[in-house]
Amino acid sequence: MDGTLLLQLTINGVLLGGVYTLAAFGLSLIFGVSGVLNLAHGEFLMLSGFLVFLVSDRLGINPFVAVALVSPLFFAVGYAFERLLIRPLALRKEHVRLASATLVTLGAALILEDGAAFFSLGTEFEKSVGYFLPTLRLGPLVLPSLKLVVFGLVALLIAGLAAFLKYTYVGLAVQAVTQSPRGALLNGVPTARIGAVAFGIGTFLAAAAGGLEVIHSYVSPLIGLPLTLKYLCIIVMGGLGSFVGVALGGILIGLGESFVGFLNPAWGQTVAYLLLVLVLLTRPTGLLGK
Amino acid sequence: MSATLIQARGVTKDFSGLRALNAVDFDIAAGSITAIIGPNGAGKTTLFNLIAGDERPTSGTVVFDGREIGHLAPDEVCRLGVARTYQSVRPFLGLSVWNNVKVGWLYGRGGRAAGLKMEPDLNEILRFTRLDGIPERRAETLTPLERKRLELARALATHPRALLLDEIIAGLTPTETGEMMQTIRAINARGITVLLIEHVMKAVMGLSHHVIVLHHGEKIAEGEPEAIVRDPGVVEAYLGTGTQG
Amino acid sequence: MRRSVPVLALGLGGVLVAGLLALPWLPLAGGGYAVKVLTLLLIYVVLAQSYDIVGGTMGYVNLGHIAFFGLGAYACGIAFNAGLALPGALAAGMAVVMAFAALISYPFFRLRGAYFSLAAFGLVKLMENVTINLRWLTGGSNGLKVAAADRTLPMYYLTLGLAAATILAGWLVNRSRLGLAMKSIREDEAVARDFGVPTLRIKTQALVLSACFPALMGGLYMWYFNFIEPAQVYGLKIALQPVAMALLGGSGLVVGPVLGAALLYALEEFIWTHVEHLQGAILGLVVVLVGLFMPGGVARLAPVQRLLERIGLREDDR
């Protein structure tokens, strides 16, 4: 494999991984605070993608502006989701809570997926915003400029998230609850409300990812669950509770898919699981997990 | 007469940059009651975890009845004769009282391994810990005091040689404290060596033959209770002796 | 209300017993369709019940349980095509799966909670892909075929027997020392270890035991349907179905998975035949409601518990 190809695959992989990482961060935030693996996470991404498409297609609004308008709505969606469906589970014993949360979020995912398929008149319905930017060329390398812009936005959002976590009260409270729910409670942090806020932020991130996805790629009603599973792989592989781990996991899987997809397309979609199993077998709590 | 049951030499434990225990040495005589005291964060529970096998020492040795146990898994250490209770009180909440104790009996050192008959043995242990009226009750329905007694029963069911009690007196009323102290004395009278982590001075003074004082992971004093209480170094490190018991 | 319960219970108990006794004679009553429906239900019972050995009694939500089914199906099919008669092929399949379970036990049981569940699920996906790529052995995505024949009747009886064996195994384990050790691991694994429970050994035994039944079921499935393909036996839906059934019925109770399998299967059949649109959504709604309001499953609801007590099926999960 020559250097150019290597570099090209690497670039593709990093760009791919970047978008995964945005949604995975949302999931990680939710897990860190509520202890719940939200199986409906990918559905929110999908719904947001559809909404962004509708807004930009029917109302003629610039797609990126549409993302900025639509994503914040999903903060409220996530907040409500937590209050209604997740909060009631908080006091159950651990393995009961795990099973209950699996059922609740999975059921919600089924409802959302089927609902989307029904209202969009079919599961094969792919939606994509046709947005064209001139392709950049750097010597022999092709830089898909749209994907670059998207990656830039993703990086911006992630930086914003990092700053939020570090410099705002809510952000610090979120970190506190993630590290020690009891400790946070004892220090006066309103843990229940923080849980809902974390869900809201996490869902907002998924929505942003969905909006960006429909711009540079596509969404369809069925992408939700497979994507959710991929994000789960990322955050578990990176180590639950570690944000740097998520970024690491996301980029690794992006790179993995890029390279493996090129070498043997049949294995492309299993890269996430392969990496997950390999990592966990060597490091039972993930790359950077506690 | 007092052979050494547990011996620690140079025991050090590090947790990613934090040194919880630093080169701690001690000998625990078989059949004794030893209290381990010290301010919060002194490393007392870490020491218990090292003896019970829940943690491995970063360096140093822990010897139990002449055998090095620092590298052994917790279940192996239990089968050698070490049983414990927990500061946060952890019975098997979803299981009945009877089944809680039965687990200890089946998988511990004595009991099944010693060819004893289970039912009479378990009944005796439940009677001793005053849980004999409620064997079928789920552990999560028990009061905090009952849960502590259940932890004791479960530990006794393993027929241990050494019993590690982590703040078992904490939170008890004066009457309950007296009862628990009596129970501990009775356990010791059966030949079981007892190590207690305690803050309640009444218990420390009233029960122990020997006291070890830890502070910031180091042993700063060791000796008889009366001497320890008067040691100026101990008093300085561990203010609060006068407020309890 | 209280006075009518005994009558209701006796009535229901009687129906239950009559129904169970009638099962072996069902084919003679000429219900060809009923036999097929029941066979499918019994397959679910075997999968859900065997899942619950590790999932309910031991508390490890093994989302990869279906791997044993798929592997058993393929191993049996390959052996069958190689010339072995059914008993030999089934035995070969079971041996392969048991060895597989023992092998993955050590690395996978170092993981806890959600890590374990997700890694186990990942394993299924991997096996699906390996199966697709080992074209020379498994037929790849074109699937695996065995000699066709109508095996409806023997399949029914064999599956009935296997289901009974699975339920019996679940019941025996629950009452055994192994079962108590498994429950202690479920309650508090670290503490169980402190009290002498050799957790890795127990977990391995539990996993291998739970693998036997889906392995045999997979082999029979292969034999009966004459054809399988990777997406079918390693798919997302069939992987999650036994878990959902066990949770719906009451995970950790012997009667739970059976009840859950019957309820979910009946519900699905009803929805497919009576509802035109949004079938998945309605099913999803049911799943959400169960998760929210019946964490212990249907079998642990107070009225159901009272009923079970009256007909002598109430069990102790303490």
Segment C186-200 shows an average pLDDT of 96
Query: Residue A46 pLDDT more than 90?
Result: yes
Q: Between the CA of residue B164 and those of B7, B33, B36, B55, C189, what are the distances in Å?
A: 14, 10, 10, 15, 19
Residue ranges of domains in chain B = 1-81+164-182+193-245, 90-160
Angstrom distance (rounded) from CA A72 to CA A57:
19
In a mutational test of the A interface, the residue from C65, C288, C290, C294 whose CB has the highest number of chain A CBs within 10 Å is C288
| Inter-chain touch B92–C188, beta carbons under 8 Å | yes
* Contact (Cβ atoms closer than 8 angstroms) between residue B78 and residue C195: yes
Q: Which residues of B touch C188 (CB under 8 A)?
A: 90, 92-93
Query: Beta partners for B64?
Result: B6, B67
| Inter-chain touch C126–A274, beta carbons under 8 Å | yes
Higher pLDDT, B151 or B199: B151
pLDDT of residue C134: 87
Query: Residue C1 pLDDT more than 50?
Result: no
| Predicted confidence (pLDDT) per residue in B114-152, tens digit | 778 899 999 999 999 999 999 999 999 999 999 999 999
Query: Residue B240 pLDDT more than 60?
Result: no
Chain A, window 220-249: residues with a beta carbon less than 8 angstroms from a chain C beta carbon: 225, 229, 232-233, 236, 240
Q: Does A253 touch chain C (CB under 8 A)?
A: no
A&C contacts, CB < 8 Å: 132
Percent of chain C with pLDDT over 70: 93
Task: Kindly identify which residue of chain B lies nearest to residue C182, measuring between CA atoms.
Answer: B103
pLDDT of residue B243: 47
Q: How confident is the model at residue C11 (pLDDT cuts 50, 70, 90)?
A: low
Give C264→chain B minimum CA distance, Å.
27
Q: Does B136 touch chain C (CB under 8 A)?
A: yes
- Looking at chain C, which runs of residues are DSSP E strands? 144-145, 227-228
| Predicted confidence (pLDDT) per residue in A209-224, tens digit | 999 888 888 888 888 8
pLDDT of residue C125: 85
| Predicted confidence (pLDDT) per residue in C82-115, tens digit | 999 999 999 999 999 999 999 999 889 988 887 8
Angstrom distance (rounded) from CA C2 to CA A3:
81
Chain B, window 172-231: residues with a beta carbon less than 8 angstroms from a chain C beta carbon: none
Angle at C110 between CA C295 and CA A199, to 5 degrees: 45
| Inter-chain touch C280–A114, beta carbons under 8 Å | yes
Tokens for A190, please give them.
């309103």
Higher pLDDT, A46 or A218: A46
Give A84→chain C minimum CA distance, Å.
10
| Inter-chain touch C292–A85, beta carbons under 8 Å | yes
Average pLDDT, chain B: 91
- Among partner residues C107, C118, C133, which is closest to A232 by beta-carbon distance? C118
In a mutational test of the C interface, the residue from B55, B78, B107 whose CB has the highest number of chain C CBs within 10 Å is B107
pLDDT of residue B113: 67
**HSE-CB of C25 using CA atoms within 13 angstroms:** 6
Segment A143-164 shows an average pLDDT of 84
Minimum mean pLDDT among A132-136, B56-60, C180-184, C228-232: which range?
Answer: A132-136
Query: Residue B206 pLDDT more than 70?
Result: yes
Residues 6+ away with beta carbon under 8 Å from C135: C142
Q: How confident is the model at residue A124 (pLDDT cuts 50, 70, 90)?
A: low
Label residue A80 exposed, middle or buried (CB < 10 Å: 0-12, 13-18, 19+): middle
Which segment, A264-273, C20-29, C236-245, is predicted with the most confidence on average? Answer: C236-245
pLDDT of residue B2: 63
| Inter-chain touch C119–A101, beta carbons under 8 Å | no
| Inter-chain touch B86–C191, beta carbons under 8 Å | yes
| Inter-chain touch C281–A114, beta carbons under 8 Å | yes
Average pLDDT, chain C: 88
Task: Kindly identify which residue of chain C lies nearest to residue B100, measuring between CA atoms.
Answer: C184
Q: What strands, in cross-sheet order, belong to the sheet with B67-68?
A: B18-29, B4-15, B59-64, B67-68
- Among partner residues C190, C195, C198, which is closest to B103 by beta-carbon distance? C195
Q: Which residues of C touch A111 (CB under 8 A)?
A: 280-281, 284-285, 288
pLDDT of residue A74: 96
Nearest 10 degrees: Cα torsion B200, B204, B205, B208:
170
**What architecture does CATH give domain B1-81+164-182+193-245?**
3-Layer(aba) Sandwich (3.40)
Q: Which residues of C touch B118 (CB under 8 A)?
A: none
Q: How confident is the model at residue B1 (pLDDT cuts 50, 70, 90)?
A: very low
pLDDT of residue B242: 47
Q: How confident is the model at residue A125 (pLDDT cuts 50, 70, 90)?
A: low
Segment B50-65 shows an average pLDDT of 94
What value of ipTM does the predicted structure carry? 0.91
Tokens for C101, please give them.
């379970």
- Among partner residues C183, C195, C318, which is closest to B78 by beta-carbon distance? C195
3-state SS, one letter per residue, for chain B: CCCEEEEEEEEEEEECCEEEEEEEEEEEECCCEEEEECCCCCCHHHHHHHHHCCCCCCEEEEEECCEECCCCCHHHHHHHCEEECCCCCCCCCCCEHHHHHHHHHHHCCCHHHHCCCHHHHHHHHHHHCCCCCCCCCEHHHCCHHHHHHHHHHHHHHCCCCEEEEECCCCCCCHHHHHHHHHHHHHHHHCCCEEEEECCCHHHHHHHCCEEEEEECCEEEEEECHHHHHHCHHHHHHCCCHHHCC
Tokens for A147, please give them.
């994907």
Angstrom distance (rounded) from CA A93 to CA A95:
6
Task: Provide the phi-psi class of B115: left if phi over 0, else alpha when psi is between -120 and 50, else beta.
Answer: left
Task: Kindly identify which residue of chain C lies nearest to residue B102, measuring between CA atoms.
Answer: C180
Give B237→chain C minimum CA distance, Å.
32
| Predicted confidence (pLDDT) per residue in A247-258, tens digit | 899 999 999 998
Segment C166-194 shows an average pLDDT of 95
| Inter-chain touch C126–A273, beta carbons under 8 Å | yes
Percent of chain A with pLDDT over 90: 22
Segment B201-226 shows an average pLDDT of 92
| Inter-chain touch B104–C190, beta carbons under 8 Å | no
Task: Kindly identify which residue of chain C lies nearest to residue B164, measuring between CA atoms.
Answer: C194
Q: Does A37 touch chain C (CB under 8 A)?
A: yes
Chain A, window 83-112: residues with a beta carbon less than 8 angstroms from a chain C beta carbon: 85, 88-89, 92, 94-96, 98-104, 106-112
Segment C186-205 shows an average pLDDT of 96
Segment B16-33 shows an average pLDDT of 92
pLDDT of residue B239: 61
Q: Which of B195, B233, B240 has its CA nearest to residue B27?
A: B195
Q: How confident is the model at residue B245 (pLDDT cuts 50, 70, 90)?
A: very low
Higher pLDDT, A188 or A141: A188
pLDDT of residue B142: 96
Segment A31-43 shows an average pLDDT of 88
Query: Residue C262 pLDDT more than 90?
Result: yes
Q: How confident is the model at residue C9 (pLDDT cuts 50, 70, 90)?
A: low
Average pLDDT, chain A: 84
pLDDT of residue A132: 66
Percent of chain C with pLDDT over 90: 53
Segment A23-41 shows an average pLDDT of 89
B-contacting chains (≥3 CB pairs under 8 Å): C
- Among partner residues B73, B84, B103, which is closest to C192 by beta-carbon distance? B103
Angstrom distance (rounded) from CA A224 to CA C148:
38
Give A150→chain C minimum CA distance, Å.
29
Segment A47-74 shows an average pLDDT of 89
Residues of C near B (Cβ–Cβ under 8 Å) read: 177, 180-181, 183-184, 186-188, 190-199, 316-318
| Predicted confidence (pLDDT) per residue in C145-170, tens digit | 888 888 888 999 999 999 999 999 99
| Inter-chain touch B99–C194, beta carbons under 8 Å | no
Query: Residue C274 pLDDT more than 70?
Result: yes
Q: Which residues of A touch C288 (CB under 8 A)?
A: 85, 103-104, 107-108, 111
